[in-house]
């Protein structure tokens, strides 16, 4: 059974993709193709490079202080924690609030691959051409350029200039890029980690929250349109209430909230395997 995997963007919510990968590993399913947007491009590239779901989880958990960590555990992680803090640095420019060079350097070490061609699984990363207002798909060439462009949320991360184009986050044009997976896939799995909005909320958002919420509203409309045009075999949207795009202090909560959706995914995949 040929399985294609599409991993959507959503900031820290995108770490819910890691339990998805662990589920695939548990079932012995290796995707024949992966497409990712924003955080989905980061997780997708790591998986396509040959890392298992559990290895990616272990790497993430080594860069955070978990609820049950003792002082000795934090001390043991100190070098990784410092790397993570240095990964994001503010910029004085007007194109974005955060420069992602540190994160790119960290990824380079973790990936062990410089180009798309060096990956073990064919992989595509989706960005958006800011001025042409269309998606731009990376599938060859420099890997980190593609990932950096795919995750450049307008107003938050600095855009990427590439071959005469100004590229920003792929979610603006293709948040869950299942339509890019090969036609010969028997099964396409699309994981959408877009935000959950609380209609009962009455508190006024901060300037940053308002910016990110507008981004989420646009993204939701893009996903809705794509699903109508070309529905995947399995579409899954884990419920991640209260998790905002940049809530990197809630990584453990993301993993916990994703578990019910992973059980659902496992049941659906097992049925397809049996068939």
Give catalytic residues, as residue numbers. 38, 169
Contact 193, 243 (CB under 8 A): no
Q: Are 234 and 269 spatial neighbours (Cβ–Cβ below 8 Å)?
A: yes
Structure-token match 């659902």, residue found: 264
By DSSP bridging, strand 234-236 and strand 3-7 are unpaired
The tally of CA atoms less than 13 A away on the side-chain side of residue 91 is 17
Q: Which residues contact 111 (CB under 8 A, 6 or more apart)?
A: 45, 46, 49, 143, 144
* DSSP string computed for 124-152: EEEEEETTTTEEEEE-SSBHHHHHHHHT-
């Amino acid at each position: 059974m040929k399985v294609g995997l599409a991993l959507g963007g959503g900031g820290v919510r995108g770490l819910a993709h890691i339990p998805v990968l662990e589920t695939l590993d548990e079932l012995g399913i290796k995707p024949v193709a992966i497409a990712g947007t924003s955080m989905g491009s980061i997780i997708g590239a790591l998986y396509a490079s040959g890392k298992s779901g559990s290895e990616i989880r272990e790497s993430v958990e080594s860069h955070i202080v978990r609820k049950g960590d003792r002082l000795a555990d934090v001390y043991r992680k100190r070098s990784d924690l410092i790397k993570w803090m240095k990964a994001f640095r503010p910029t004085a420019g007007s194109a974005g609030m955060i420069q992602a060079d540190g994160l790119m350097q960290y990824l380079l070490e973790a990936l062990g691959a410089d180009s798309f061609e060096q990956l073990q699984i064919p992989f595509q990363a989706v960005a958006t051409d800011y001025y042409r207002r269309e998606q731009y798909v990376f599938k060859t060439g420099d890997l980190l350029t593609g990932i950096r462009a795919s995750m450049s949320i307008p107003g938050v991360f600095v855009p990427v200039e590439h071959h005469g184009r100004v590229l920003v986050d792929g979610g603006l044009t293709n948040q869950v890029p299942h339509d890019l997976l090969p036609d010969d896939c028997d099964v396409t799995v699309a994981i959408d980690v877009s935000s959950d909005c609380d209609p009962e909320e009455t508190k006024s958002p901060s300037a940053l929250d308002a910016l990110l919420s507008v981004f989420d509203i646009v993204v939701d409309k893009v996903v809705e349109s794509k699903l109508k045009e070309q529905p995947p075999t399995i579409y899954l949207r884990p419920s991640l209430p209260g998790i905002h795009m940049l809530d990197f202090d809630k990584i453990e909560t993301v993993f916990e909230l994703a578990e019910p959706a992973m059980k659902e995914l496992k049941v659906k995949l097992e049925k397809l395997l049996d068939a």
